[in-house]
A and B are shown apart, each in its own frame.
Chain A
Amino acid sequence: MSVDKSTVARIAQLARIKVPEEDLDALADELSKIVGWVEQLDEVDTEGVAPMASTAEGTVLRQRDDVVTDGDCRDDVLSNAPESEKGYFVVPKVIE
């Protein structure tokens, strides 16, 4: 299955990565190559096989007790913010 230019553009949009127009063809080629290559998995019979959810499979999901142990570290949380004010993160306005 080949990945065409418009698909690359759509995927880039989903992934919020700006891809310059001039890069689209090359990327489409590369992705087509990779996708074509991974398609060899179709050769493998996986009838009745359960997908592997985790390498830590068989382990019980560990649960935390319902106690407040964290937070109250606003300075740390904001310490690398490109922009912050009055305790908030400041981001470009969302147009709705």
Chain B
Amino acid sequence: MASLTDLTLTEAQTGLASGDFSSKELTEAHITAIEGARDLNAFVIETPERAIEDAERSDKRRASGEVGGIEGLPIAIKDLFCTKGVQSTAASKMLEGFVPPYESTVTAQMVEAGMVMLGKTNLDEFAMGSSNETSYFGPVVNPWKRNSDDQPLVPGGSSGGSAAAVAARLCLAATGTDTGGSIRQPASFCGIVGMKPTYGRCSRWGIVAFASSLDQAGPMTRTVRDSALLLQSMVGFDPKDTTSADVPVPDFQAALGQDIKGLKIGIPSEYRLDGTDPEILGLWDQGIKWLEEAGAETVEVSLPRTKYALPVYYIIAPAEASSNLARYDGMRYGLRVEGDTLTDVYENTRGEGFGAEVRRRILMGTYVLSAGYYDAYYIKAQKVRKLIADEFSVAFEQVDAILTPTVPSAAFAHGEKSDDLLAMYLNDVLTVPASLAGLPGISVPAGLSSDGLPLGLQLITKAFDEETLFRVADVIEQSAKFTGRPDMKA
């Protein structure tokens, strides 16, 4: 039934509770939807049998009175999370066929909470990218199209598969990971809600590491409430992850529906970049009005080093990645390409196993860490990072949340930015600063461009204040009344 896939996560949860339908029916509807939308290439692997098993088990549990936080809800998992017994590839030839004998902490919690796993979604290889064009398994197609032409568009990245799947109603929700904007930016491009929690909220154990000091798992959903609902099952202290925060977990949904009278919202002038689509700037102004109408006070704040965030990111992330990806060497798992000597095997395996963008970032990372350059690049970047984080801290002494656009443009066409590296990297210019500072951020679809494409607004709050984040995001969502749907005809 088409309408089952149109429900929000929250509505489906209510429906299951009321017995309007079973998890099995809900799941079957989504399996059918997935089958019919394969041209989006949103999935690396579909797991319909596993999903039906999960659903049947869930219906039985529900009958005996056991109901977890996301009980019986069909959800898709970004193929960066290691899922026990199910292929986990990081969208790379390097891990094609890799079946982990372990489950990531986040997905283990979700399984415990009763989720139904529909499959593993496509992404930029090893989470490196902003358009989901670097996947070994082919690019993902944004279910949205411009009014003016028929060109396939990118869904954003790296969590492009998850974003497309959620937007196209192939799943009720999906998990993503965000390192420099990889949840928020595709969410904006696909007209959905994408949220990155505070660094340390979600465990990184079992998630293929890209940049250790930046990676965070997060929910990708169609509404803000759905986001809070899913996040609840994803977060939690994990003693197996030294960077996991041992902090109390609030009831995120309780933050919704609270008014924002008297809250101060910061508007950073430095996020008004040259070259930003004027429609997006207009939407930002609109967002400011919505919040003021809801009783908040908007305040100009200054984050002077914002423009340096992107170069800082493109030193630190590749540096950490170059080391994190050293384990992919053909010795213990994954691809092995033969050679005459050990060195040949290393070089052949990694030469063939990694795509061009991954190779580029590993080389960049190796370069900035190498002797003679370490101080000038890596140390310098970590210092500037400290300054950027401090700027946010100062701003948050004045305001409760910061409102910005999510991306300087709407979704672009496949291949449009592939030749211009820096233009591609600029997709993340507005999302990266919060990542560097470890702060929680959310993108809420707020309007359509004149060409019919979704545009998102971003909110950022201080560390561990996801409650305020959801509270204000809810207001944006209520005010925007975004009802856009992609036309899913390929």
Q: Which residues of A contact B (CB under 8 A)?
A: 3, 7-8, 11-20, 27, 30-31, 33-35, 37-44, 46, 49-56, 59, 61-62, 64, 73, 75-77, 79-83, 89, 91-95
Contact = CB atoms under 8 A, between A and B. Distances in A.
A38 B360 contact: no
A77 B422 CA distance: 40
B384 A44 contact: yes
Contact of A89 (B213, B332, B335, B377): B332
B341 interface: yes
* Residue of A35, A40, A76 ringed by the most chain B CB atoms within 10 A: A35
Chain B interface mostly: helix
A16 B213 contact: no
Interface in B398-415: none
Given A18-B347, A44-B387, A11 B370 contact: yes
A11 B438 CA distance: 30
A44 B334 CA distance: 42
A69 B2 CA distance: 49
A17 B384 contact: no
Interface stretch (B23-31, B254-262, B310-318, B454-462): B310-318
B101 interface: yes
A79 to B, nearest CB: 5
Contacts of A83: 336
Given A16-B346, A35-B367, A95-B341, A56 B382 contact: no
B16 interface: no
B360 A31 contact: yes
B354 interface: yes
Interface residues of B, number: 68
Given A27-B360, A31-B364, A34-B364, A50 B386 contact: yes
B98 interface: yes
A81 B98 CA distance: 10
Interface in B280-319: 305, 308, 311-312, 314-315
Interface string B176-192: 00000000000000000
Contact of B342 (A19, A30, A73, A92): A92
B200 A56 contact: yes
Given A14-B366, A34-B421, A93-B342, 19 more contacts: A8-B363, A15-B366, A16-B347, A16-B350, A17-B362, A19-B359, A30-B421, A34-B364, A35-B364, A41-B312, A44-B387, A50-B383, A56-B199, A56-B243, A77-B332, A81-B333, A82-B330, A82-B333, A89-B332
Q: Which 9 A-B pairs have the closest CB atoms?
A: A55-B438, A18-B351, A51-B382, A80-B333, A76-B101, A18-B347, A46-B383, A82-B336, A16-B346
Given A41-B308, A52-B389, A76 B102 contact: yes
A17 B436 CA distance: 28
Nearest to A45: B387
B381 interface: yes
9 contacts: A13-B347, A15-B322, A18-B347, A18-B351, A35-B367, A49-B387, A55-B213, A80-B332, A81-B333
Given A50-B386, A76-B102, A55 B342 contact: no
A33 B421 contact: yes
Nearest to B318: A34
Interface in B328-345: 329-336, 338-339, 341-345
A76 B489 CA distance: 43
Contacts of B101: 73, 75-76, 79
Interface string B245-270: 11000000000000000000000000
A46 B387 contact: yes
Contact of B350 (A15, A53, A59): A15
A91 B99 contact: no
B395 to A, nearest CB: 17
A59 B332 CA distance: 34
A40 B370 contact: no
Contact of A11 (B245, B338, B367): B367
Contacts of A62: 239, 242, 246
Contacts of B363: 8, 11-12, 15, 17, 27, 31
A37 B331 contact: no
Nearest to B381: A41
B245 A56 contact: yes
A12 B367 CA distance: 9
A15 B370 CA distance: 11
A37 B422 contact: yes
Contact of B351 (A17, A30, A50): A17
Nearest to B243: A56
B27 to A, nearest CB: 29
Nearest to B350: A17
Nearest to A59: B245
